[in-house]
Structure formats: structure tokens, C-alpha cells
Structure 1
């Protein structure tokens, strides 16, 4: 995957930390720009990087080309193991890692970088957490799932559970069903992640899972406020 084009929201004050956030299928970095600007106001030293996924043919949508981090073959979760675009997923993880490296090269320590994503972008984030070598300040996965679940246990690094993770999911999600998120969180627990209390206002190693009633495949003011608190704590 080629170098990712991206939007940047520069910090109001000295650049001391970075949040990289990946959009969902068919979207672009512009889709999360309003959220970044909203959170930017209370994080004066944080730079936001909002990458654009490349255009790929998506099997689920009849091969139509659209912004996608990887191909989606089906939403049928009954397949075991599910047919997933492993090569595309790994290429996306590698491309995102180059963005992280660019921040490190610019003088931002790994423990002052948060990687997050929504839906497809959240899946890439989850895989980056499990397969990468970086110890970032934290990882955020919203309305998503852990991909390659049938083999990720054998591939996952052993120290991933030492990193703070925020996972948010709407209970009325009709695209990535809420139970997919629940099962993904259970998988992470099997991998040694400690389940932290919902509603914590600080970030620590382990997995904070927040459920949002009446929220579909989107975000909500409550989730964004939880995210603001969590990212602020993670970057302290």
C-alpha cells in the first residue's frame, strides 16, 4: 500500500503528542475532521492525523471501488474461520505504521501517540495493537471487530495487554453488530487483556469497553466525551 494521504490538524501550542485516527469504509479523513476539531479545542498540544484510505474494489459491494482499508467479502459472521482479506489487512497495518514512524521521526515518542479508528479503521487499529511492535499511549477501536480472530492468538505479541485500549460500540449497530464487539472484547480478554471498569476517567493498561444504548453504526456525544477524557488521560 502506497504512502497514505492525510489531513492534519495542527496543535494550538507546542506539538507534544499525536492522535492518528482511521475512518470507516467508503469515508475519508474528512469524515472525522469535525470530531478532531471538537477534541482539538481541549488538547492544545495534540496534533491530529486523519488518513484517507486508498480506493479498492470491495467484493461486498459488487467489486465497486471505494475508499477501503481492505476488501470485505461478506458480513456473514457464521463462517468459521471467516473469509477475510488477510493480505489487505496486513498491508493497511504496515501503511499506518509508516504514519506512526513519521511522527516518531518528528520527535514525538511512541508513548505520546494514540492510534484509533472506526469500523474498518478500528479493525486495522485492533490488528496494529496485536501484531505491531510499538508501545503507544493507547489504541481506540470504535464500532468494530478483531479481524483474523481464528489465528490472531498465535500471531499476537505477548505484551499487547500492557497497553491501554478504549473500545466503544453502539448497542443498536446494524452494520457491525454489537455482539461482534462483545465477542472481540472476549477474545482480547482471552489474550490476557484485563477488563477495566466502564466509565473510568483515566487510562491504564487493560481494556475499557463502553456500550452505548440507542446508538447505531455511528458515534454519539457521550462516546466523544468519553473519548476526550480517555485520550487526555492516555497522553498525560
Structure 2
């Protein structure tokens, strides 16, 4: 819950390095990031993920081929991923959701809901989820946010847990219920649907995210089966 203390989220490490850092976006109603405005990683996240004495100890190491498929990534791979691609994932999510969650679009109806439910499939180390949570915080939403974070890489989920805890420690405007589910989705359509139903459980979600998971899953299944086309999501989509 929001503690009522004075809080100012400062930003560091520019995701768009050619531009100056953006103004603070943590005042209620200031969620929108204007087109062309750079999105930067908040200082507290920058310090957490790059600290040499912390639990993550990320490092910058571009590896475009290796990150095409991350399900089997070890700790070293995940640390390189966070140090290189987490800021970009955060920036993309922050920029997209700051344009979607605007007072003239959905903010009023969102504030009327006491509970917002978020499902993040293939959440990885949590960059996209952090972007969404901090965007919600910047609107001043005061209800309850329930997150189900699903990924097949246990190491990524463990690192994500440290990051989400750091986000909670900032004193969010809303209460956050955060649950992780470690599962590897099967390439068989029937089994995939069964797994997805089990993950979703009962009830609806206000936001469902998959980001690059669908592409990663499709490419991997296609490579394993040598098939030209795998309509694996043609059945799950109506469930969602």
C-alpha cells in the first residue's frame, strides 16, 4: 500500500541516449509519456540490477542470437539479459502503457475498479511487468493489483522476484498481490490449452501480456518439428 510518505522516483540510464532524461512521471494523472520522450530506467532499478554486491549483478553484454530463445537460460545468461535487454523491455512497456492508460481513455473506468488483475505469460525477468506497474502507480490508482507471473525459466523468475520486491518497496499507490507460476507450455495444442486454463484459473483479467513469448515459442516449436506452420495459438486464443 501507499505509505503516504513523500516519494520521488528519479531516473537514470537513458533508454534513448541521445535525449535528456524525462521529467518525473510519478504524480497522479501524469502517466502519459509524450511521443518522442525518452523513457529511462528508474535509479532504484538501475542500482539494484547493476550492483556488484546485490542478488542480480547484471552486466551489459549484447547477444542477439542467444536471446532468441531463453527458456533454458542459466544464471549467467539471465544476468547478461537483464543488463542488456531489461531496460529496453521496461522502456517499451512504460511507453506503451503510458499512452494507453490516459485520463481521456481508460483511467476513469480503471479507478472505478477496486481490483485490477494482470496475467503475464512468459514474464521473464520482469521488465515489461515493471513498466506496467510503475505506469499504474503514476496514475495514482489506489485499489488492489493482482499479478500472476508465468514463466518456464525458474532462474528468471527468481531474479524477477527480487526486482518486483524492489518495486513494492518504493511505496506504490496501490496494494500489490504478486504470484509466480513456473510452468513450461507443451507444444501439443490440447496440452497447451489445458495448461493455459490451469494458469488462468477462474475469473477474468484486465490485462494479459505475452510480449515476445509467442514469437519465441512459435520459432522453437517450428524448429523442433521442422513444420512450416504451427497454428498452436489458434485454439488457446478463444480461451483468453
Q: TM-score range by the shorter chain?
A: 0.3 to 0.5
> TM-score normalised to the size of structure 1?
0.37
> TM-score normalised to the size of structure 2?
0.36
More strand by percentage: 1
- Please tell me whether Structure 1 or Structure 2 has the larger radius of gyration of its CA atoms: 2
